[in-house]
């Protein structure tokens, strides 16, 4: 996006904001997978055979 001209004043800053938000969203999703979803899956796999 560096080679693209701004369509309006402040467009570059807005693009950087959207990029940063997208990176934060991906990081939050990875955090969710590693700290919430995988432990739940592991717990279910360990508990259900005993129920």
What value does the mean pLDDT take over residues 37-44? 90
Q: How many Å apart are CA 18 and CA 38, to the nearest integer?
A: 29
Q: Is residue 27 in a domain?
A: yes
pLDDT confidence of residue 8: 87
CA distance 27 to 19: 12
pLDDT for residue 4: 77
Per residue in 10-39, pLDDT (tens digit) is 888 998 999 999 999 999 999 999 999 999
Q: Do the domain assignments include residue 2? A: no
**Parent domain of 23:** 11-50
Q: What is the total count of domains within the chain? A: 1
Per-residue pLDDT at 51: 75
Asked if residue 36 belongs to a domain, the reply is: yes
- Asked if the structure places residue 1 within a domain, the reply is no
Q: Is residue 4 part of a domain?
A: no
Give the confidence band of 45 by pLDDT, cuts at 50, 70, 90: confident
pLDDT confidence of residue 6: 81
Q: Please check whether residue 3 lies inside any domain of the structure.
A: no
Q: Is residue 37 part of a domain?
A: yes
Domain-located, residue 41: yes
Yes or no: say if 6 and 12 are a contact pair by the CB < 8 Å rule: yes
- Is the entire prediction scored with pTM above 0.75? no
């Amino acid at each position: 996006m560096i080679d693209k001209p701004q369509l309006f004043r402040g467009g570059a800053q807005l693009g950087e904001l959207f990029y940063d938000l997208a990176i934060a969203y991906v990081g939050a999703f990875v955090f969710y997978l590693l700290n919430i979803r995988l432990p739940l899956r592991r717990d279910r796999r360990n508990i259900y055979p005993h129920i």
